[in-house]
Amino acid sequence: MLAARAGMDLMLASARTTTQGDDVVNALSAALTNGTLNATDFNAAVARVDALRDSLP
């Protein structure tokens, strides 16, 4: 979660296992729950990603 805490908006799962995405989701959830990841910063990142997705044709 160092990347998320440093401001990375997208977590890229590049391993060849299908569980890596689940691992990222679980780690983000745990970091939000235990306060390691600031919820306001996380929500701002989600909003930026949503805006990017909405701008694509």
* Half-sphere exposure at residue 7, Cβ-oriented, CA atoms within 13 angstroms: 0
* 5 domain-assigned: no
Confidence of residue 15 (pLDDT cuts 50, 70, 90): confident
Phi, psi for 50 (deg, rounded to 5) = -60, -40
> Does residue 27 lie within any of the structural domains?
yes
Q: Is residue 12 part of a domain?
A: no
Cβ-contact 13, 21 below 8 angstroms:
yes
With a pLDDT cut of 70, the percent of the chain lying above it is: 100
pLDDT at residue number 26: 94
Task: Express each pLDDT in 20-43 by its tens digit.
Answer: 889 999 999 999 999 999 999 999
DSSP tag of 18: T
DSSP alpha helix (H) spans, 1-57:
2-5, 20-34, 39-55
Q: Give how many domains the chain has, as a whole number.
A: 1
**Residue 5, pLDDT score:** 87
| Pick from 54, 50, 49, 53: nearest CA to 4 | 49
